[in-house]
Structure 1
Amino acid sequence: MLQELTDGEFIARVQASRTLIGPTDRRIIDAIVQDPKAVVEGTVSDLAKRAGAAQSSVIRACHSLGYGGFQEMKLTVTRDLARREVTANENPELTFNGDLTSDTPPTEIIRAIAVKSAETVRTIPDTVSPEAFSAALDALQQATRIVVVGNGTSAGSARDASYRLAMLGRTVSAPSDSRTQQLHSHHLSQGTVCLVISHAGSTRETLNAATAAKDSGATVVALTSFRASPLTDIASIVLVAGGFDYGFRLEVMASRLAHLAVIDALFVGLALREPEQSALALEAVADIGARAKL
């Protein structure tokens, strides 16, 4: 019985690159997912034959996922399979990938979702470019003003990002109204940042604000789930972190967890760059909290 890939770095890359994948790439990716062991044990020629594609198409598909070539992709699949075996040996229940139904016990539901959510967070380093993350830190650290934009399921993440940046003493706003978002973005300038959070990167109101920020000369930092979208075309810096598609719109929910984790990483990264200033700012936050309890 074939053991399909259902999570891990390879699947994370497929999800992040979904909008870049054409029909031929899809056939090749499906062949990898359906029989990963054959990929580990075979050659680029073997995979091309199973997918009904040319060897050059296999290499091109690897490139579309961000790999340098077939061997780099093969190493990832090997690690994913090894990690799954270790996990299964430690706790067989963690390999659960079956569909949840109306008969699923509540304890199984929460366990399954928790496992999937944890896997989403674990794969963030596989899709977030270190160079892009460093560039985002540079832009946020040097920004004289920051506007955070997020709508729909990303609205809560935007508010969280704004609060955390304010905790470090940054001048930041996160308007909840889409027109106010566009207005604030329009009044940005060079040396400022518009941090835009969007799962699919295609929400019209969000794109309007991002475009206004770009036109004003601000640096647009996108935190999104896919490598290619209307938002990534606008942004100067793109941080890709998303969730797997498990049905029940869990992809969107898992992506929210991934985005919050990246926001936490930005918060910590900024704090570490300016430890003394950050310590003073966080002390002020603690004082405000203490006074609120009186």
Structure 2
Amino acid sequence: MDRTRTDAPAANAEAGVLERIRHGANELSDAMSKVADQVLADPEAAARATIMDLAELSGTSPGTITRFCRHLGYDGYAALRVAIATETGRASARHETGWDVNIGQEIAPDDPLEQVLKQLITIDAAMLRDTVGTLDLDAVERVAARVAVARRVDVYGVGNSATVARELQMGFYRTGVAAWVWTEVHDALASAALLGEGDVALAVSHSGTTAETIEMLSEASSRGAFTVALTASPEAILAEVADVCLRSASRRTSHRADLLASRHSALLVADLVHIAVAQRRFPEAREALESRARAVGGHRPTREVRTGAG
């Protein structure tokens, strides 16, 4: 089976140390979780603190800090401090442009909309950067190569993930790929049962644990289709079912559900995949786009241009 995972080594600096701490929070012990929470709450302070300072701030011990560093792939606290300082230094440079917003802060009822807007764009921009740093482009290439020659493509997604699934299917459809989107489990299973060799099934799930989506992709896999998971959790069950896992980034916030906060990073991955497919099918994709434009051209309103005085 051509299984491609996007799991990066713990010490892969391209992923961003703060993003790796966020993403791996569920794997930490209670004591190391306290360290992670303290680092994420104030990364700049963590970069300045000694190991004793951080132990006191997090209510743990120097030994816990050392284990936390090794869990992330660093030899010791000095290396971790350098990584955090480098990342927060880049963030500080961005703050000089006027976007000095604390990603973790609450949005209060009386906050002005200008502040809310800056908060939202800061979070979304950070997740897009995290996605760029963690996405496996070789995996995207393999998925695009399969979709470009597929007999048909099924895209699955339920609940909030259906939004991304619809966008991905529409991207394929616009470029001439025979693609369907399924957001209801019975219809999806019926379609998956008709797939086979040469077909592609792509499932979208932020958590990677949605039972219906897992069932859909599993059915497609059992029929011989090439399967793909688009998820923020490459260690989840959905990724285990898939031949290829495409990872989008995620950041937990107090004012938006995880999926709503990460939808733009998932849409970025979806856009990249469908554009990579269009590149491989360039003549067919251009003809499909032109044919669509001609077909609907007569329904576009025209505006009369009046000349003369009056």
If the length of structure 2 is used for normalisation, what is the TM-score? 0.78
Is 2:65 the partner of 1:58? Answer: no
The answer to whether the aligner puts 1:130 opposite 2:176 as a matched pair is: no
Three-state SS of the structure 2 residue aligned to 1:248 is: coil
Structure 2: which 5+ runs fail to align?
A: 1-14, 302-310
Corresponding residue for residue 149 of structure 1: 156
The answer to which of 168-177 and 19-28 deviates more is: 19-28
Amino acid in structure 2 at the alignment position of 1:212:
E
Q: Is 2:128 aligned against 1:118?
A: no
- Residue number among 241, 245, 253 corresponding to 2:252 in the alignment: 245
**Residues 87 and 207 of structure 1: CA distance in aligned 2, closer, same or farther (over 3 Å):** same
Identical residues among aligned pairs (%) = 22
Question: Could you list the runs of 5+ residues in structure 1 that have no partner in the other structure?
Answer: 1-7
> Residues 107 and 88 from structure 1, CA distance in 2 versus in 1: closer, same or farther, beyond 3 angstroms?
closer
Quote the residue 2:212 is aligned against: 205
How much has 1:217 moved relative to structure 2?
A: 1.2
Structure number with larger C-alpha Rg: 2
What is the DSSP-based 3-state SS (H/G/I as helix, E as strand, rest coil) of the residue aligned with 1:195? strand
> After superposition, what is the alpha-carbon deviation per residue over 1:237-286, rounded to whole angstroms, capped at 9, x for unaligned?
11111331111334221221111111111122122233222222221222
Q: How many residues end up aligned between the 2 structures?
A: 283
Whole-angstrom distance in 2 between the partners of 1:24 and 1:227: 24
Q: Which position in structure 1 is the counterpart of 2:262? A: 255
Aligned runs of 1:166-177 on 2, under 5 Å?
166-177=173-184
Distance in 2 separating the partners of 1:209 and 1:130: 25
Counterpart secondary structure, 2:196: coil
Equivalent-residue separation in structure 2 for 1:233 and 1:170 (angstroms): 26
Flag the 1:43–1:202 CA change in 2: closer, same or farther, 3 A. Answer: same
1:220 to 221, 227, 236: 227
CA distance in 2: counterparts of 1:72 and 1:285, whole angstroms: 55
Cα contact 2:182–2:188 (8 A) shared by 1: yes
Aligned partner of 1:287 among 277, 289, 294? 294
How far residue 154 of structure 1 moved from its aligned partner, in angstroms, is 0.8
Q: Distance in 1 between matches of 2:77 and 2:219?
A: 41
**In 2: Cα distance, 1:232 partner to 1:51 partner:** 36
Please give the alpha-carbon distance, in whole angstroms, between the structure 2 residues aligned to 1:72 and 1:236: 35
Normalized per residue, the structure richer in helix is 1
Distance 1:97 1:37 in 2: 14
The structure-2 alpha-carbon separation of the partners of 1:189 and 1:250, relative to structure 1 and needing over 3 Å to count, comes to same
TM-score by length of 1: 0.82
Give the RMSD, CA atoms, in angstroms. Answer: 3.2
How far off is 1:45 after superposition? 11
Structure-2 separation of matches of 1:82 and 1:131: 30
Alignment check: 8 A CA contact 1:166 1:172 kept? yes
Q: 1:132 to 1:70 in 2, by over 3 A?
A: farther
Asked if 1:103 is matched to 2:110, the reply is yes
